[in-house]
Amino acid sequence: MEAELKEILNDLDSLRQSLLDPSSIHMLQSRVEHLTKLAKSAPVGRTKVKDMSAEVVDSNPYSRLMALQKMGIVDIYERIRDFSVAVIGVVAGLLVQNTLMFLLQFGQFSPYLGYNSLKDYFPTMEMRPNPQCSNAACLERQKEYLLEKPARDAAIRAKMEAEALLVPEGQLHADNEWDIRGPKFQDALPEGLTRELPTADEFQKPPAAEAATTTFDDIEELRKQIDALNAD
């Protein structure tokens, strides 16, 4: 396409020099029609590389795929597409796990999300900004972060001092190993509301029924009662 355009430019130069020559104009018209047909045809795509270089260099767009092939993860680099779904699923799981640990404040979350498959290791390094970044907006944000850093450090120190001053309450019971505590409710209810059931403090157990006891004056009275039962 570039060669065709260069030829058109050359024809235009020759046309400027000889405007009275109709052959030059006819030639230019035919070339323009040829370019129009090329534009209407299927878009030109990049041809698939048949024999790809196995050299892992920055200039090779397939360097990462070839590195996976050299490490023995895949035998043929085209098969990496079969593993892409699993890789995306693992990355999504790591993102969700790290986000939940940050939001729920449990576990050890990391500002750097990564996984070293060769060593089975999750790095926890902290990504720091580049002071020599070429982006002006990035440099501006770095200056704002440095200016706000003393205020953040002071707030963190104040929070730590306040937590240190709090005296932890002792266990309610000596055998309360896990220090389990019930919620503290207010007994006073708003006006117009009543409890459907009594509270535990107001609930009184019903008195136990006294066992019926029969006293006999003597053994003779007991014998008379037994004889009366046998006579019936």
**How confident is the model at residue 212, as a pLDDT?**
47
Domain boundaries, the chain: 2-40, 54-125, 128-164
Return the ∠ at Cα 138 (arms to 134 and 141), rounded to 5°.
150
Predicted local distance difference test score (pLDDT) of residue 205: 60
Question: Residue 24 to residues 5, 9, 28, 106: CA-CA distances in angstroms?
Answer: 16, 12, 6, 80
Reported as a pLDDT band with limits 50, 70 and 90, residue 216 is very low
Mean pLDDT of 170-177: 64
Distance CA 91, CA 113 (A): 9
CB-based contacts of 56, cutoff 8 Å, min separation 6: 63, 66, 67, 70
pLDDT, tens digit (0-9, with 9 covering 90-100), for 175-192: 777 777 766 655 666 676
Confidence of residue 221 (pLDDT cuts 50, 70, 90): confident
Mean pLDDT of all residues belonging to the chain: 71
Q: What angle do CA 54, 56, 57 make, to 5 degrees?
A: 130
Residues 99-158: tens digit of each pLDDT: 888 888 787 777 777 777 667 677 777 778 888 988 999 999 999 999 998 998 999 899
- Comparing 30-34, 83-87, 92-96, which segment has the lowest mean pLDDT? 83-87
